[in-house]
Amino acid sequence: MFQILTCFLVISLFSSVQSCREDKPFEVIVIDTQEELENLLLSNQSDRYEGDLILSGNITSLQALSSLKKLFGKLAIIDTQITSLNGLENLILVTDDITITSTGPIQQNITNFCAIQGLLEGGSFKSLTITNNLFNPSVQEIIDGDCSL
């Protein structure tokens, strides 16, 4: 128990990129195709993922993440082709930041953020940044149900 507590404290204070589990290193995964996203979850076979999950590029749906409940790391959705966050309805924990944005002059086409309403209402996350999408609701707007165009 002391080892787990110590590891959590070190990660919290110094943003270390090492897993608390000695048998599994912390991973930063960049997924840029729909096929890679579906293969990642097939290989994981779990409702939890340990590592940063960065989704970018030719991602058209998040349905492959529908069994994901706990993400021990960051979630970034950047410059994808999705229009909604459907598939994230069961997510209740993200231990780091959530970023949903576009880096270029062209906005992401995301207009529906309702799938993360449960996470924002009763789940746990560090921070949420939503920018440069066709719709950019605040946390409170999503909680209040004003989560889609």
Q: What is the pLDDT of residues 44-67, one digit of tens each?
A: 678 999 999 999 999 999 999 999
Count of C-beta atoms within a 10 Å radius of residue 137 = 19
Q: What is the pLDDT of residues 81-113, one digit of tens each?
A: 999 999 999 999 999 999 999 998 888 999 999
DSSP string computed for 35-101: HHHHHHHHHH-SSEEEEEEEEEEE----GGGTT--EEES-EEEES---SB-TT-TT--EESS-EEEE
Q: What is the pLDDT of residue 39?
A: 87
